A = this chain, B = another copy of it.
Amino acid sequence: MSSDPPRTRIQRRNRRAILEAALAVFSQHGFRGATLDQIAAEAGLSKPNLLYYFPSKEAIHETLLAGLLETWLDPLRALDPAGDPIEEILGYVRRKLAMSRDFPRESRLFANEILQGAPRIGPTLDGELKSLVDEKAAVIAGWSAAGRIADVDPWHLIFSIWALTQHYADFDVQVRAVLGPDRGDPFDGAERHLVTLFTRLLTP
């Protein structure tokens, strides 16, 4: 919406620290479960100083979510209708899994928002997200009709990719508990497994 170029380097540094701290707290406890004192402590600032940079708890949360959806949908946007179908979809899976590995807190922040009924990004889901998915689903349906991939419901295929990749970020604790300490990095196993899964699903 509004361009927000922080004037000074102090502003830049502190706003970054606040958003970083807020990401940690919001992603773990949800909006209502998070407290400004906790965010302030995590950011190394006093609570009034927090509110010097952001007008309210809501504003911090909104800033976080706004920046999130863009980067979150980028991997899907990059799905190329002109590319090789299976390689394109596998590429999307890999990019999405990499995001789960590299930005698990962002994934959990998003999960929290949806779990609570998407009170703040509901409209964006109905609008921007739906239209992007519809567009890419049409591409996949085209591949399907042309016999270049096996017959598959494009919408549920996309849901499958989301579910399978985000699971490793959102349920990280459970995954590690079940695998135990001696079975290597969960994400390595996940990548091999997901490539197998989607290859077998999509190969005609």
- A residues sitting closer than 8 Å to B (CB atoms) are 27-34, 108, 111-112, 114-118, 122, 125-126, 129-130, 133, 150, 152-153, 155-160, 162-164, 166-168, 170-171, 173-175, 177-180, 183, 189-190, 192-193, 196-197, 200-201
Q: Is the CB of B153 within 8 A of A193?
A: yes
B30 touches A177 (CB 8 A): no
SS of A interface (majority): helix
State the copy count for this chain.
2
Q: Are A114 and B171 CB-contacts (below 8 A) given A155-B179, A200-B201?
A: yes
Assuming the contacts A130-B177, A130-B180, A177-B125, asked whether A153 and B192 have C-beta atoms less than 8 A apart, the reply is yes
Q: In the complex, what's the smallest C-beta–C-beta distance from A141 to chain B, in angstroms? A: 13
Q: How far is the CA of A180 from the CA of B177 in the complex (A)?
A: 37
| B117–A28 touching, CB < 8 Å | yes
